[in-house]
Structure 1
Amino acid sequence: MENNNNLDLSSISRELNLLLKITVMENHGRDKSFDSEMFNDIDWGLFLQLARHHRIYPLIYSKLKRINKKYVPHHVIESLYQEYKKNTFQMLQLSGEMEQISKLFNESDIRLLFLKGPVIAHDLYGDISLRTSKDLDIIIPMTDLEKAEEILITNGYEKENQPNFLNEWKWRNHHIAFFHKHNKIQIEVHWRLEPFPSKEPSFNELWERKRTSTITRSPTYFLGKEDLFFYLVSHGARHGWFRLRWLLDIDLMLKKGLNLDKTEKLFKKYKRQHLGGQALILASQLLKTPINKRMKFLTAGNRSKVLSEWSIFFIEEMNQFNYPKEYTVLLKSKTQIFLTKMKAFYPDSRDVETIKLPKSLHFLYFILRPFLLVWRKRRKNAK
């Protein structure tokens, strides 16, 4: 990575810095490259908090086992071990449910691709216990949403409440969650990779480039390499890269290799070069990821670096909710910014709660929308 993309990492805490160094340890033999001074004056409570927040505690535990035990307090190793065991059980449970859901959808002729979860844990880490997943994320054609909902509800899942005025949820959102009360598993059913108005490959294109996972006995499909990289980059950027787990995924994908011609075509077609550049800069600076020179087209210009600087702040502060307007504007193209603003003028369920009109007059909500927005804002400010 070129020097002009170097980030200022001087404000990173000793605990986060130690976490990063452990993360990039080689996976073979015992690592003797550690300076014992790195373990001095460590707030181990904060260290554990960071490992949990960044969802990398299984990997950290697997690597700490090879470090001299005198450097790390026993209670830290034990705490990580308990988290590791719990995650292993959860990933096995998700793997079983993943195979079951895949069977049910295949039997109903619903094409299904898994976006994350055990399939990419196995694909990238070679071991599902080394990556965390709290739920299963799938993507299906939008035309199959009702059929998918029926299957999930029949099999014990409950659908999250969604506003359904003028079908607003289908285009305001890009997924809907279903939760099983007994096995405590959540499934997010996507019909888009990212929220509208982002441009992205169609489901048919994703399906044509799909791969088959080998962790289940029956066929289970997931994204092709370049599509997965594209999705993980877009997802990480949208969330400010506030979890290191997402960067570790990028690190492993780059090390395993991508078809660079296909990658370049994909990012240029959907105008995500600045997001790809952000991912490369962060991975190379924080995880020492080697970057192929052929991928420098992603880091051209200053936009990627500015986005990366914001992400360093999010990572340090464990910020996962309040993204400044400056960051969100940098993420989007001018067309996306315009369409996002236009979305504000489309009626939603809050308008119905504010003033109820008979169904035959629902078209009036488009006219009333600006006035209702102003009225609600003034009412909120008056409280």
Structure 2
Amino acid sequence: MNTKFELDLTFIPKELKVLLELIQDKNDEYIQENKDEWFIDIDWDYFLKLAMHHRIYPLVYLKLKEVGSDLIPSQVLQTLQAHYQKNTFQMLHLSGEMERISELFTKNQVCSLFLKGPVVAYDLYDDISLRTSKDLDILIQKSDLENAEELLLKQGYTNTKETTTQNDKKGRNYHISYFHPYKKIEIELHWRLHPYPINQPTFEELWERKRNSNFTSYPVLFLGKEDLLLYLSVHGARHGWFRLRWLKDIDQMLKQQFNYKKVNSLQKKYQYSHMIGQTLMLVNYLLNTKAHKEIKLLSRRRSKKLAQLALLYIRKRAHSHINEFKNLNNYHTRYLFLLMPTSRKILFILTLFYPSSKDEQTLPLPSYLHFLYFPLRPFLWIWRKTVKLVQL
């Protein structure tokens, strides 16, 4: 990608810069040349916290193990090794359940596409131990939601929310979570790739372009290459790329072969151009990976601005939905507004007035009165803000 744009990394801590170097590919010689400088005056506790938060500790552990510098404290390697081994077992555990759920859904006529998890780890890294996953994300048709939920409940899963309002399956929401108390596995059933009003392909379109993983003995279906690239890019963009693992996934994807005309066609059709541009600029600048010249950047100026804004999430280690520093929620709302194409901004504003689970928690109502959450939402919002100010 040929661009003179440079990100302002002034406030990026040394520990994060070192992590960015360690997760790059084919830079072993460069690391050996600079390791003595990198590992002096480094806050190893903070380094470990960053590696864990960004979910890149498997890659970091293997790279540090190869470096073999006396400047790396033994407890740092031991901690990373313990988490690496734990993650390997977790991924194997998820792999088995992924295969079982795929078979369960298929035999009960529920079409399913696995969005992330072990199937994507194997596709991108050829080794499931190199990527972390905390749950299984499964895309189904909305018409199959009740059937899929019934199947999961019979398998011992429970809905993570005690009650689900009728608005949860409409408007802004796009998935429901289930947890198995014995297996300690969480499954998210999605009926949309992204929350409304983001444009996205229909399930039928994604199904036509699906792939079958050769990782498991029973067929596990997941997104086609072009769809996966766009999905991971939009997902990361929505969350401000607050986990470097997502950028590393894109980095791995760009090493594969694509139907570049299809990528360009899809990003234009669904108005993802500025988000794709942001993604490619971040991967290029932070991980030194250039996208194929045939992938068109259709919204350079806006993409550059979005790339710079994402650094706040990466630097602050802040989840986009947790107010870990002042005014993050307001910042994130403005950030999401900038992500929206002009044609969807009005719809995005309207979703802010749509009832949420917080409204139900503030004022529980029986299901037949849920429609009252619409006119009551402004008052419930003011009430929550007032209570919060009083508690400060």
TM-score, normalization by structure 1: 0.91
> Matches of residues 192-341 of structure 1 in structure 2 within 5 Å?
192-298=192-298, 300-321=299-320, 322-323=328-329, 324=331, 325-341=333-349
Cα distance change of structure 1 residues 29 and 222 upon mapping to structure 2, 3 Å threshold: farther
| Structure 1 residue 164 displacement after superposition | 4.2
Which residue matches 2:350?
342
Q: Give distance in 2, aligned partners of 1:364 and 1:286.
A: 47
User: Secondary structure at 2:192's aligned position in 1?
Assistant: coil
Q: What is the identity percentage for the equivalent residue pairs of Structure 1 and Structure 2?
A: 47
> Matches of residues 1-150 of structure 1 in structure 2 within 5 Å?
1-26=1-26, 32-150=32-150
Q: Give distance in 1, aligned partners of 2:227 and 2:25.
A: 28
Cα distance change of structure 1 residues 221 and 372 upon mapping to structure 2, 3 Å threshold: same
Aligned residue identity for 1:268: K
Q: Deviations over 1:209-265 (max 9, x none)?
A: 111111110111010000000100010001000111000000111112321101001
> How many residue pairs are counted as aligned between the two chains?
380
1:172/1:196 contact within 8 Å kept = yes
Mark the runs of 5 or more structure 1 residues left unpaired by the alignment.
Answer: none
| Structure 1 residue 358 displacement after superposition | 9.8
Cα distance change of structure 1 residues 265 and 351 upon mapping to structure 2, 3 Å threshold: same
| Structure 1 residue 151 displacement after superposition | 0.4
Q: Give distance in 2, aligned partners of 1:18 and 1:358.
A: 52
User: Secondary structure at 1:8's aligned position in 2?
Assistant: coil
Aligned residue identity for 2:305: V
User: Secondary structure at 2:294's aligned position in 1?
Assistant: helix
Cα distance change of structure 1 residues 24 and 348 upon mapping to structure 2, 3 Å threshold: closer
Which residue matches 1:185?
185
* Alignment RMSD: 2.6
Q: Give distance in 2, aligned partners of 1:151 and 1:23.
A: 39
Aligned residue identity for 1:113: L
User: Secondary structure at 1:92's aligned position in 2?
Assistant: helix
Cα distance change of structure 1 residues 25 and 341 upon mapping to structure 2, 3 Å threshold: closer
Q: Give distance in 1, aligned partners of 2:267 and 2:5.
A: 20
Q: Give distance in 2, aligned partners of 1:102 and 1:269.
A: 30
1:115/1:222 contact within 8 Å kept = yes
Cα distance change of structure 1 residues 212 and 38 upon mapping to structure 2, 3 Å threshold: same
Cα distance change of structure 1 residues 294 and 82 upon mapping to structure 2, 3 Å threshold: same
Q: Give distance in 1, aligned partners of 2:17 and 2:362.
A: 49
Cα distance change of structure 1 residues 174 and 163 upon mapping to structure 2, 3 Å threshold: same
Q: Give distance in 2, aligned partners of 1:358 and 1:320.
A: 31
Instruction: Identify the range of structure 1 (194-203 vs 31-40) with the bigger mean alpha-carbon deviation.
Output: 31-40
Cα distance change of structure 1 residues 379 and 252 upon mapping to structure 2, 3 Å threshold: closer
| Structure 1 residue 86 displacement after superposition | 0.2
Cα distance change of structure 1 residues 228 and 25 upon mapping to structure 2, 3 Å threshold: closer
Cα distance change of structure 1 residues 356 and 315 upon mapping to structure 2, 3 Å threshold: closer
| Structure 1 residue 291 displacement after superposition | 2.2
Q: Deviations over 1:188-211 (max 9, x none)?
A: 000000001111000011111111
Instruction: Identify the range of structure 1 (22-31 vs 283-292) with the bigger mean alpha-carbon deviation.
Output: 22-31
Aligned residue identity for 2:121: A
Q: Give distance in 2, aligned partners of 1:351 and 1:22.
A: 45
User: Secondary structure at 1:5's aligned position in 2?
Assistant: coil
Cα distance change of structure 1 residues 17 and 144 upon mapping to structure 2, 3 Å threshold: same
| Structure 1 residue 35 displacement after superposition | 4.3
Q: Give distance in 1, aligned partners of 2:11 and 2:381.
A: 41
Q: Give distance in 2, aligned partners of 1:381 and 1:30.
A: 50
Cα distance change of structure 1 residues 340 and 27 upon mapping to structure 2, 3 Å threshold: same
TM-score, normalization by structure 2: 0.89
Aligned residue identity for 1:275: M
Q: Give distance in 1, aligned partners of 2:289 and 2:271.
A: 23
Aligned residue identity for 1:301: R
Cα distance change of structure 1 residues 379 and 310 upon mapping to structure 2, 3 Å threshold: closer
Q: Give distance in 1, aligned partners of 2:29 and 2:301.
A: 40
Mark the runs of 5 or more structure 2 residues left unpaired by the alignment.
Answer: 321-327
Instruction: Identify the range of structure 1 (165-174 vs 125-134) with the bigger mean alpha-carbon deviation.
Output: 165-174
Q: Give distance in 2, aligned partners of 1:362 and 1:48.
A: 45
Instruction: Identify the range of structure 1 (243-252 vs 323-332) with the bigger mean alpha-carbon deviation.
Output: 323-332
| Structure 1 residue 344 displacement after superposition | 4.5
Cα distance change of structure 1 residues 348 and 243 upon mapping to structure 2, 3 Å threshold: closer
| Structure 1 residue 23 displacement after superposition | 1.0
Q: Give distance in 1, aligned partners of 2:385 and 2:21.
A: 50
1:160/1:179 contact within 8 Å kept = yes
